[in-house]
């Protein structure tokens, strides 16, 4: 069993199911759909889907805290916000397993030390590669950065389209969802929050 920690340091375990068992389950679903999993075009489909799912949901075996554990102090006292805009997000909603596709903006105010810029995008990816709600995803990214970096403040914004709304159900193809989560100085000081929102809207 592979284990990772969430932002509240709880252990998340993935039940040990073999690739073969997962492939057999997918054959059952194909049959339920009305397909013939033994026909030529579908013979390798269960194996391909299992491989794809390992990529889609790889966040269950990754630890955001570990990604953020290397920081740098040689920044000559820089203490203003660091913003990384336009981070692509691809996730899946936990209700219908339909794709969520959008953009994340992440900012933090360092407390003496900074983290490599690529790590901000990697933290977004860790939590997005799990079954999600957008609200929880936004909070998980923010809390992981705040806790791991001991930051003075963190802001996270996600703007995304949910295919459970655009392709099924209400079928509103232009609908987008925007979520924000602020911690520390971004929550306490509206002028800092306003600066952040202006930066990400440019």
DSSP code per residue over 116-136: -HHHHHHHHHHHHSSEE-HHH
pLDDT in tens, 61-86: 999 999 999 999 888 889 999 999 99
Give the max Cα distance, the chain.
64
Residue 16's pLDDT is 84
pTM of the model: 0.90
Domain 3-56 annotated CATH 2.40.420.20? no
Residue 121's pLDDT is 97
Per-residue pLDDT of the chain (202 residues; tens, 9 = 90+): 345 555 443 444 456 899 999 999 999 999 999 999 999 999 999 999 999 999 999 999 999 999 999 999 888 889 999 999 999 999 999 999 999 999 999 999 999 899 999 999 999 999 999 999 999 999 999 999 999 999 999 999 999 999 999 888 988 888 999 999 999 999 999 999 999 999 999 8
Domain 71-201 annotated CATH 1.10.10.10? no
Question: Where in the chain are the domains?
Answer: 3-56, 71-201
DSSP structural state of residue 80? S
Q: Counting Cβ atoms within 10 Å, is residue 16 exposed (0-12), middle (13-18) or buried (19+)?
A: exposed
pLDDT in tens, 105-137: 999 999 989 999 999 999 999 999 999 999 999
Residue 113's pLDDT is 92
Residue 14's pLDDT is 52
**Spatial separation of the C-alpha atoms in residues 153 and 142, rounded to whole Å:** 9
**Spatial separation of the C-alpha atoms in residues 2 and 176, rounded to whole Å:** 34
Residue 15's pLDDT is 66
Which pairing describes strands 82-93 and 3-5: parallel, antiparallel, or unpaired?
A: unpaired
Any idea which residues carry the catalytic annotation? 93-96, 134, 162, 164
DSSP structural state of residue 46? H
């Amino acid at each position: 069993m592979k284990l990772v920690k969430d932002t509240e340091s709880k252990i998340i375990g993935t039940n040990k199911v073999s690739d073969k068992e997962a492939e057999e389950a997918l054959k059952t679903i194909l049959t339920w759909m009305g397909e013939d999993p033994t026909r030529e075009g579908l013979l390798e489909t269960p194996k391909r889907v299992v491989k794809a799912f390992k990529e889609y949901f790889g966040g269950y075996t990754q630890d955001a805290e570990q990604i953020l554990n290397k920081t740098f102090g040689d920044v000559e006292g820089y203490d203003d916000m660091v913003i990384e805009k336009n981070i692509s997000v691809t996730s899946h909603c936990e209700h219908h397993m339909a794709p969520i596709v959008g953009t994340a903006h992440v900012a933090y105010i360092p407390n003496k030390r900074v983290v490599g810029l690529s790590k901000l995008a990697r933290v977004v990816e860790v939590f997005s590669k799990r079954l999600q709600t957008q609200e929880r995803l936004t909070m998980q990214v923010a809390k992981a950065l705040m806790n791991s970096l001991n930051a003075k403040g963190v802001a996270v914004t996600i703007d995304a389209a949910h295919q459970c709304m655009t392709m099924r159900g209400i079928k509103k193809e232009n609908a987008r969802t925007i979520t924000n989560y602020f911690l520390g100085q971004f929550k306490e000081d509206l002028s800092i929050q306003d600066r952040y929102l202006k930066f990400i809207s440019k």
